[in-house]
Structure 1
Amino acid sequence: MAEKRPMQTARIKIISMGDAEVGKSCLIKRFCEKRFVSKYMGTIGIDYGVTKSEINGQEIKINIFDMAGHPLFYEVRNEFYKDSQGAILAYDVTSRSSFESLPHWIEEMKKNIGPSSEANNLVVYVCATKIDIGNRKVDELEGRMWAEQNGYHYFETSAHTGKNVDELFKALFKSVVNRLEGANVAPVTAAFSKEQADAVRKLRTGRNDHERLGVPQGASRDDINKAYRKLAVILHPDKCTMPGSEEAFKILVSARASLLTNARH
């Protein structure tokens, strides 16, 4: 086991990334000032704040750079990636486009942060915002799957209610400090296989029972049962613990029963 060594400095740098209006500034203000601002002017270029936190028995000063998400400010924010040690990658659960932009933000970060070693050492927490609003366009399962499959931590938050905001920031700060101290930090690994993720997605998003099981119209009872058994092995509750798998298994059972009712022999 690697010997834990003290940090050379009691200061860390955190950045926020994500599309405009996903709530990055509100999230930071909720954490730093313990209040919610309902009407917040969009960040112009970069907003900067400082806070302190006690981590591993040491007082750490944290510099937070809140980067504007609008493309207009790329030439401003690209100067602030370098030397970052932690990042909040945020998207709005009511905005599908903000979720689909996450790969773009990772690409921009890697392009501007400096040597590849810096990008690889950056601690990234994916943050789903505005979970209190309803009318979600991205459910928790999809967000969590994307984060874990890319090796990132994941939190669902609400700046309005404060849900999980403190937990997000404190976990991020602790992860950064542990990495800088050389502690053994377990990598983020998906608690499920791609095969399981694909099966859950197909069952949850299928337009009809044939599509959910992956069988054609007019499929025989044998075909239906064969497709069912294959998916049941993948998603059996005793073997699959990924979020959403229990719901998907229930959908699978229901779809099989419905198809068998009208199936040909």
Structure 2
Amino acid sequence: MSAPSKWNDLAPRLISGAAMAAGGLFLIWMGGYWFAALAIVCGGLMIWELASMTPAIRPFEAKGLGVLAGFVLALVLLGRNPFFMASLAVPPLLLLAAVLLRRDGQSRLYIPLYGAMIMGASYGLVAFREGYGMLWLLWLVLVVVVTDVAGYFAGRIFGGPKFWPSVSPKKTWSGIVAGWLAAALIGAVFLKISTAGIDLLWISSVLAFASQLGDIAESAIKRRAGVKDSSNLIPGHGGLMDRFDGLLGAALLMLLVALLTPVPVVRF
């Protein structure tokens, strides 16, 4: 029997990736309730995946948490009030932490923490689309996508030293740096088609690193859970968390930046 090729997952990745990109870009363009609905569904499904990877959480409880997360996001996004989100989301997350600790005696604080990340990023993406327009969000998504694609190909072509082998054994320094460079190229493209300033180059690379850290955080959770993928929802990609972990990291960074400093309006 021949050894499996390191490219054997490329075809399903490309097909499902193209389908997700087309659907996602359409809903980004539509904005409003259309994009909010995408965030609600994806946020709820990722909470379900996160809970499903925890042995102390029963399957029906995982589904219930996913539904609860989607319901909370729907209320928040319709009300456009982040403080309302915090008041609704924090108690269930604290309850989840208490249940986990009581059942197996182990500290699994990372579960509610990562759940809070999912909720915050889901809100942040919709708020960014509504507050700053399609162009900013398109740039954000493209930076995350090219960071992942460049890292995938550079890591398999060049290989080399691992970035953080104990947490994410497949990530190499060549893939990490390739992601930074590819993100900077996206920044350079947007300099030409928008009114953004030159700082967009290094900001794009920093955003790429935040995306990579989001990917690594999810890898750490999967390693602790002893699973390869968060679910099997997407052919060639695993689950939504496997595909959107980088977007979570990047969205949270941009949300933090927007809270701390004014974000300039850019136009085509």
Question: Which protein has the bigger strand share?
Answer: 1
TM-score by length of structure 1 reads 0.29
TM-score, normalising length: structure 2:
0.29
Of the two, which has the highest radius of gyration? 1
Q: With CA pairs under 8 Å and 6+ residues apart, which has the higher RCO, 1 or 2?
A: 2
Name the structure with the higher helix share.
Answer: 2
